[in-house]
Structure formats: structure tokens, C-alpha cells
Structure 1
Amino acid sequence: MRRLHAHRLGRVGYAEALALQERLVEARKAGAVEDVLLLLEHPPVVTLGRGVKDGKNLLLSPEAFRARGFEVHEIGRGGDVTYHGPGQLVGYPILDLKPDRQDVRKYVASLEETMIRVCAEHGVEAERLEGFNGTWLDAHGARPRKIGAVGVRISRWVTMHGFALNVTTDLSHFGLIVPCGISDKGVTSLATEVAEPPTFEAVTERTGEIFAALHESELVWHDGPPELPAETDRRPRA
């Protein structure tokens, strides 16, 4: 059985988390680390995926976002504009899908299924919505609203980026963008949908457990970032 090392990181700046992911991806490709799941939350940040067209789904300029204390980053994941912030559980799996998990759709579905099962444990019925990534409430009803987002990048079958589940997120921040480029559907959070919202820590714990079970992996918990192997010295030798 594979091992999955889940790291509880607390609140981490987006650029710092991205740099950590990139180093982990290279280490995973080299076989220097095992599968990793980073679980964290970000300060307020807007990220622009490869699907962004001329920033049209930003309702403020990047400068105006920064003036309000938001970071703005253009990144290499799929998808459009999204928001991350306090109270939103972000999961960044760094997995090597070789040799027997080389199915992108199945992998993305596992991220959605993780959030669906976490929601179900708190009495919230989440589901998929055909034609859209992520996890939704009332997906086929009168008031569809998104509770979890997905955006991934896969290089040589090693994954990065991942999923984001709204736990106690300030939903007003989504009003500053067109989330994922979808203008006719809403957003929600666990705290909005239940009378007694779960703690962020409890959701983090169950998310790690459910994700590991879906990937048939032995879960190993860590507090703090993973230890990375020393980088190879690439300087030319005399």
C-alpha cells in the first residue's frame, strides 16, 4: 500500500505554498519523496488559471485588489478565476499517478468525491454538476451553489494544485470576481448551510482521512511542512 503524507500547515501565503508545491513536484518526479497532501488555508488571494480571458471575470483591477489586501497571482492550473481565503480548506495533493492511476478524469473525480463525502458527514448533500468541475449544492434545482472548487495541473503524471472547500469562508469576497467564470450560479459554505458548523480542524482531519481512503493509501499525519531533500548542486565544476 502506498503511503500518503498529509501535512497540516495552517495559514500560508499563496506564493510560499506554490513554491513548496513546485519543489515537491520535482522531488516526487525524482522519487525523493512519497505522495504528499498539503492541507492549509490562504490569506485573501485571487488566482487566475489558464482559462482566464483578458481578466474579464475580475470585477476590480489587480491594483484595486491589492489595495484591499488581496494577493493576485497568475498560475498554471486549469480553470478561470477563483478566490482563496481564511476559512477555506485548500488541499494540494502531490501524487505520482504512475503506474496504475493514469486517468485524469478519475483523479479529478476523486477530489470532488472527497469534498462530497466531507459535506455528507455534516448533513450537507453535495454533488457534481454536469459540464462543471467542483462540488455543488442543489445542482439540478432552482438555486445551484458551489461549495468546493477543483483546479489541477499534471506533469509527467505528477499532480499539483487541487481542491478548495468553503468551510467558514467569507462569501462576500466572491462578489469581487465571477467565480470560475460562472455568473449564473452562487457560492456557499458549510457554515452557511448548517446550524452548527464544524471546526476547521475537524474538517481538515476528515478530509485527509477520506482522501487517503479514496486513493487506497496509508495516511501519515504531520504538523508543518515536509522536509525536502537537498537540491542538487548544478553549478559548473572547474
Structure 2
Amino acid sequence: MPDVTPTSLPDPVQRTEHFDVLDLGTLPYRDAWDIQHHLHAEVAAGARPTLLLVEHPAVLTLGRKAREGENIVVTRDYLAGQGIEVLEVERGGDVTYHGPGQLVVYAIFPVGRRVRDFLRLLEDATVQALHSLGLEDARPNPGYAGVYLSPRDLNGLERQQKIASIGVAVKQHTALHGIGLNIATQLHHFDLIVPCGLQDTQMTSVQREYDLRGLGQSASMDAAKAALTTAFASVFRDYDFSLPASALHAAIPHPQSKESDA
């Protein structure tokens, strides 16, 4: 797709009752980050919430718990040689990977003080989408953000199978960031990190699961986008999208507070 800037966003691919859906195609992480912040400012001021769908070139992002990337297991020089950026971002969680074949879903939604409830709804929408894609054992894992499938034995050790990572930041009562769902992701790139700092976890994808289960299917990014959009519309049907009155009041400029040129 052509270069996308906050002032030249594509038209929504869908308008649900409560939010718009924008498909950014494949976009570098920094560019999508700028778009997130642009839309976040608008939603925090009362504009319609937006669900962003995007794929990124390979990048590692460090959340607030990342401790300077101690769960990256290769050198920064090696990553640079592979063309993989490392960026510190404002979401929660540790280190995670984004790259081709992964559907990244940024929910720029009002949250207020309901952060835990919002995270559960993100998980619910992801689980519902995976069920519709034929992975009926998709489930949350209590105590851990994200979505998992049934554990597998690996050389005598039970390993949790994680298919989606979830991390958000909330500013001005409005969320940034969201979900990284592995569709046909290059899973060997996760060997560069300890995903989310979890030692007993193996990353998986829709395509890997189709292959291991002998389903004879090819994972489709378009199908995944449609499934996530439908699931979000369902899970957030009765969600309170209103912002606190105090937040909207703070977002409105007041003449008496305008800086003087004098």
C-alpha cells in the first residue's frame, strides 16, 4: 500500500456500531506507532474508537517489564545484522516479537479504570476468532496475559503453547497497543527471545497448528482479519465506550489557558 501518515489514513474497511476498522496492510512498526498516537489523541478527545489491523517487518519491542531486554538471547549487533529493530514502547509486559505472518491488532478504545476487564475482553475476542478458525482449544491462561492452546510434550517437558500475546498501555483513559496473533509467523524468530519472559512457553501459530493436527489447511491472513473483526464486534457489543466526563473536559482547550505570544 502507499505510504501512510496520520494525515492520509485509509478509509475504514468496516464501520461497526461502536468502532471503525482500519487495515494498514504491512507497515513498519514506527509508522504504525505514530498512527496509533495520532488516533489515540482523537479518541481520547471523543472521536470514534478505532481497531487497527497491521503486519510489521521483523521487530522486537520491549514493554515496561522488559528490564532493558534481558530476555533477548542474542546480541544487538546480531539483530542489527538481521535487520531486526529493538524498540522500547509504553505497553505492559516484557519482550515480544512482531513480524511477517503475524496479525497485529491495535484497539484504540476508551478504557477508563477498567483495565483488567479490557484485557479479558481482548482475550475473549482472540479466543472467539481462533475458535472460528478451527482451533477450538484456544483459551486464556489464568495469571498470564495472552491466548494459549493445549500444552504439548517436548522431550519429556510440558510446554505451554502460546499463539497470541497481549499488552496494552492506557493513557487519558484510552488504550494503545493490543494483540499479536501468530497466523503464519516465522516462529524461529521467537528463538531470539524468551517470549514475554516465560521459560516454559513455546510459541505456535495457526499454520503450525493446522500442520501438526493434519488439517490440510493454509492459514489465511484475510480470514484471520475477518474473524478478529467479527469477534470484536460481538465481544464489545455491550461495552461501555464512553469516556469519563472529566477526561473529555480535560481534552477541550480553554481560552484562559492558552499560552500568550507576549
- Residue 42 of structure 2 aligns with an amino acid whose one-letter code is A
Match of 1:220 in 2: none
The answer to whether the aligner puts 1:72 opposite 2:93 as a matched pair is no
Q: Does 1:215 align with 2:229?
A: no
CA contact (8 A) 1:129 1:140 kept: no
Residue 222 of structure 2: which of 181, 201, 205 is its match? 201
CA contact (8 A) 2:132 2:227 kept: no
Q: Which residue of 1 aligns with 2:129?
A: 118
1:148 to 150, 164, 174: 164
Q: Report the CA distance between 1:122 and its aligned residue.
A: 2.3
Change (3 A) 1:175 1:20: same
Structure 1 pair 197–110 and aligned structure 2 pair: CA distance change class (3 A): farther
- 1:151-190 aligned at under 5 Å gives the runs 151-190=167-206
Aligned match for 1:94, one of 105, 108, 111: 108
C-alpha spacing 1:132/1:123, structure 2 compared with 1 (3 Å)? same
| Deviation, structure 1 residue 2 | 4.9
- SS of equivalent residue, structure 1 residue 82: strand
Deviation at 1:186, TM superposition (A): 0.5
Q: Conserved in 2, the CA contact under 8 Å of 1:82 and 1:179?
A: yes
Tell me the TM-score normalized by structure 1.
0.86
Residues 235 and 64 (structure 1), Cα distance of their counterparts in 2 relative to 1, 3 Å cut: farther
Deviation larger for 167-176 or 190-199: 190-199
1:191 counterpart = 2:207: yes
Instruction: Give 1:2-151 correspondences, 5 Å limit.
Output: 2-31=17-46, 33-97=47-111, 102-124=113-135, 125-139=137-151, 142-151=158-167
Identical-pair percentage:
35
Which residue identity is paired with 2:186? D
* Per-residue deviation, 1:236: 5.8
Q: Report the Cα distance in structure 1 between the residues aligned to 2:28 and 2:95, rounded to whole angstroms.
A: 18
Task: Identify unmatched segments of 5+ residues in structure 2.
Answer: 1-15, 211-215, 239-252
TM-score relative to the length of structure 2: 0.78
Alignment partners' CA distance in 2, 1:119 and 1:2? 23
Please give the alpha-carbon distance, in whole angstroms, between the structure 2 residues aligned to 1:95 and 1:119.
22
SS of the residue 1:143 aligns to: strand
Extract structure 1 runs of 4+ deviating beyond 3 A. 139-143, 234-238
1:225 alignment partner in structure 2: none
- Give the letter for the 2:226 counterpart: E
SS at match of 1:211: helix
C-alpha distance in 2, partners of 1:131/1:97? Answer: 21
- Structure having greater relative contact order (Cα 8 Å, sep ≥ 6): 1
Q: Deviations over 1:94-119 (max 9, x none)?
A: 11135xxx421111011111111111
Distance 1:92 1:157 in 2: 15
Cα deviation, residue 237, structure 1: 4.2
Structure 1 residue runs of 5 or longer lacking an equivalent are 218-231
Q: Residues of 2 paired with 1:23 and 1:67: CA distance? A: 31
- Determine the C-alpha separation between the residues in 2 that align with 1:144 and 1:197: 23
Per-residue CA deviation, residues 121-144 of structure 1 (Å, 9 max, x unaligned), is 122111111221100111598332
